[in-house]
């Protein structure tokens, strides 16, 4: 086992080869993405994300790896453990630093424990727990893990926690021909609402243009960042990601990004950025990531973040569009609830037992919530 405090010390070719072997890879686990987080100053010790990437080797072969961070806070994670940290503090105990295995600021399910086979994956999960014990850390957390990671974590004794996201799925057997055909599958109420919302944006004189990959110019990226930064500042926070991070994405991973820019009277007024997972050069999955607006237009957020991306996904036969963390309102736009899983280990047995009881109650509530959401499906019953 080796611990890397600098992601660049791991060979990108080896890391990405290992990622390509996983059943559920994502662009957010690519070496270039994680390295850009570090080199741009977005996820570093200064911002509370100290890299300690773990790799397992068999001779010259990289058999398993994961992106681990020592966290001094719980921001940018989207699986909330603030109450756990508060309980530690109330008992005079130190919760931070904790160990986190995740893609920084990216609540997208996918492979977290990159491994050549299930045995290597189980070995990596066990090595993580042993390392955290040796470092006398309070806890270990793997967020938005793939099913095979969950199995390995369960075998290593970690507790499981379930949350809910909202994803849109194209028809598998006969993908939608266009946006109107997709709308025909919805209830009359939902279909009418979506058309009304789109009409409001159009009648406000707003049009959209989309750019993919190298067609996104420097000026387009600059405008997007103005929108992205403004959204965070309006909520009283500095943006998680620096302009340099997106500059590196433009240079190192251009094919994985799709940008929509809204214009009115020839002026750009809003933008939304979508990430793409590609298979043989074709988009397979789209991920709603960031948005911002310089002007207020009724329903502009829905058009920029849902309807324009969904229309693009339909036109390009994309199988799935993931809407990101939380947001029950997404169901009205035909993004349906899916369960996501994280895994957790706490060093202290007394706190671990208390959290396990909490997770059992929370899990029961999540199951009831999923049933409630499924009963409110926006799709017509055939």
pLDDT digits (tens, 9 = 90+) for 177-230: 999 999 999 999 999 999 999 999 999 999 999 999 999 999 999 999 999 999
Q: Which of 96, 88, 94 is nearest to 70 (CA)?
A: 96
pLDDT digits (tens, 9 = 90+) for 87-132: 999 999 999 999 999 999 999 999 999 999 999 999 999 999 999 9
Task: Count CA atoms closer than 13 A to 51's CA, side-chain side.
Answer: 25
What pLDDT is recorded for position 292?
96
Residues 24 and 109 sit within 8 Å (Cβ to Cβ):
yes
Considering only CA atoms, give the Rg of the chain.
21
Q: Which residue ranges of the chain lie beneath pLDDT 70?
A: 382
What pLDDT is recorded for position 382?
60
For residue 274, report the phi and psi dihedrals to the nearest 5 degrees: -120, 135
Q: Which of 111, 117, 105, 113 is nearest to 76 (CA)?
A: 105
Which helix or strand (DSSP H or E) is residue 262 part of? Answer: strand 257-264
Q: Which of 274, 359, 280, 373 is nearest to 330 (CA)?
A: 373
* Alpha-carbon span 104 to 69, nearest angstrom: 9
What pLDDT is recorded for position 361?
96
- Considering the entire predicted model, what is its pTM? 0.96
């Amino acid at each position: 086992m080796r611990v890397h405090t600098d992601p660049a010390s791991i060979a990108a070719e080896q890391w990405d080869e290992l990622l390509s072997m996983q059943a559920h890879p994502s662009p957010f686990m690519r070496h270039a993405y994680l390295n850009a987080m570090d080199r741009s100053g977005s996820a570093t010790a200064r911002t509370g994300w100290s890299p300690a990437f773990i790799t397992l080797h068999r001779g010259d072969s990289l058999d398993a790896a994961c992106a681990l961070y020592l966290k001094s806070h719980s921001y940018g994670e989207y699986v909330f453990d603030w109450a756990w940290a508060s309980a530690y503090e109330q008992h005079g105990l130190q919760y931070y630093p904790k160990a986190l295995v995740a893609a920084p600021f990216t609540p997208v399910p996918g492979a977290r424990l990159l491994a050549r086979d299930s045995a290597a994956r189980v070995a990596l999960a066990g090595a993580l727990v042993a390392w955290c014990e040796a470092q006398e850390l309070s806890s270990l957390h793997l967020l938005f893990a793939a099913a095979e990671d969950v199995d390995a974590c369960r075998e290593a004794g970690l507790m499981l926690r379930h949350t809910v996201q909202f994803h849109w799925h194209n028809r598998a057997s006969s993908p939608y021909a266009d946006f109107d055909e997709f709308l025909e599958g919805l209830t009359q109420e939902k279909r009418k609402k979506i058309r009304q919302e789109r009409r409001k944006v159009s009648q406000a004189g707003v049009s959209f243009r989309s750019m993919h990959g190298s067609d996104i110019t420097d000026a387009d990226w600059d405008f997007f960042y103005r929108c992205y930064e403004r959204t965070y500042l309006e909520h009283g926070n500095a943006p998680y990601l620096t302009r340099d991070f997106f500059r590196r994405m433009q240079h190192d991973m251009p094919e994985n990004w799709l940008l929509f820019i809204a214009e009115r009277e020839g002026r750009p007024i809003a933008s939304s950025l979508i990430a793409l997972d590609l298979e043989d050069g074709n988009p397979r999955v789209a991920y709603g990531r960031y948005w911002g607006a310089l002007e207020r237009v009724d329903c502009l957020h829905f058009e920029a973040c849902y309807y324009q991306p969904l229309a693009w996904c339909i036109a390009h036969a994309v199988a799935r569009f993931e809407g990101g963390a939380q947001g029950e309102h997404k169901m009205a736009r035909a993004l349906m609830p899916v369960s996501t899983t994280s895994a957790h280990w706490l060093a202290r047995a007394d706190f671990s037992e208390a959290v396990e009881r909490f997770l059992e109650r929370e899990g029961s509530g999540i199951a009831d919530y999923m049933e409630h959401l499924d009963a409110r499906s926006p799709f017509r019953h055939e």
